[in-house]
Structure 1
Amino acid sequence: MTSITVADQTFVAASGAEVADVLSAPNNWLRWWPDLILEVREDRGDKGIRWTTKGALVGTMEVWLQPSLDGVILHYFLHAEPHPALPPNRIAAANRARRVAGRNMSFELKTRLEAGRPAGVAPANAS
């Protein structure tokens, strides 16, 4: 088990391709995770992306896009070790900080891609 372990999910009323388009832009990665160096391990297109992480964390990170209803469920996973290692009394705070960073990323995507869509109304791209 890794010291930093995050698993979260958020529904986004947009297609996997739309989410992947925003998700695949490296300039967004720098904003969302400024202390991480991300290397794409697998670009899965409208199914998500997998990275290896270096910098402040050494490990793996993934966003998996699961089709659901008229959008996708954005699953966010992070499994890593802090570099340099943190004392045990700081691990819980580090996990919380990484959970918040992932949540901020997912809500930014949600806000951007659902902008102007009234609640309960299907996205314009829905068939």
Structure 2
Amino acid sequence: MRLRSAPVIDVVDETFVRAEPRAVRAALDEPGVLDRLWPGLQREVAQDRGAKGVRWWTGGEVTGRVEIWLEEVPGGTIVHHFLRGEQRSGPGRWERRHRRRWKEGVHDIKDRLEGRTR
């Protein structure tokens, strides 16, 4: 008999934002932002690193961990996003939606902080 395991999710993303890490963190901390970016994920803070980011344990659609690491670089911040865990629903669909939602959301924050409108 072969045991079936849940599909593994492994998302890595980087986005440059021409703003200080504290401004990026403040934008991510606005009410409802992370809920819109990560629907279906229940989060529990594992480590709050202030202007350097946050690590969470996740439940819901994905059981595992998620992290936003804010790396200060000349001229701005690189927003690193990591999600690793086991997916509850069918393989691939949730992960593709997550990647698209994340990119759209982080680019909305980028545009706002950099003074651009879409």
In structure 1, the gaps of 5 or more residues are 117-127
The answer on whether the counterparts of 1:9 and 1:76 sit within 8 Å (CA) in structure 2 is yes
In 2, Cα distance between equivalents of 1:25 and 1:49? 14
Per the alignment, residue 101 of structure 2 pairs with 101
The structural deviation recorded for 1:27 is: 1.9
Per the alignment, residue 20 of structure 2 pairs with 15
TM-score by length of 1: 0.78
The answer on whether the counterparts of 1:62 and 1:77 sit within 8 Å (CA) in structure 2 is yes
In structure 2, the gaps of 5 or more residues are 1-6
* Percent of aligned pairs with the same amino acid: 37
In 1, Cα distance between equivalents of 2:80 and 2:28? 12
In 2, Cα distance between equivalents of 1:29 and 1:39? 12
Q: Say which SS state the counterpart of residue 81 (structure 1) adopts.
A: strand
1:46-125 paired onto structure 2 within 5 Å: 46-83=51-88, 86=89, 90-116=90-116
The structural deviation recorded for 1:69 is: 1.5
In 1, Cα distance between equivalents of 2:104 and 2:59? 20
* C-alpha RMSD of matched pairs (Å): 1.9
In 2, Cα distance between equivalents of 1:115 and 1:41? 32
Q: Kindly indicate whether residue 29 of structure 2 is the aligned counterpart of residue 24 of structure 1.
A: yes
Summarize deviations over 1:97-120 as a string: whole Å, max 9, x none: 22112212211220121125xxxx
> Residue type matched to 2:85 in 1?
A
Taking a change above 3 Å as real, the CA distance of residues 28 and 74 of structure 1, as seen in their structure-2 partners, is same
The structural deviation recorded for 1:74 is: 0.5
Residue of structure 1 aligned with 2:45, choices 40, 43, 57:
40
How many residue pairs were aligned? 111
In 1, Cα distance between equivalents of 2:95 and 2:61? 13
List structure 1 segments (4+ residues) > 6 angstroms apart after TM superposition: none
The structural deviation recorded for 1:26 is: 4.9
The answer on whether the counterparts of 2:10 and 2:85 sit within 8 Å (CA) in structure 1 is yes
TM-score by length of 2: 0.83
> Residue type matched to 1:42 in 2?
Q
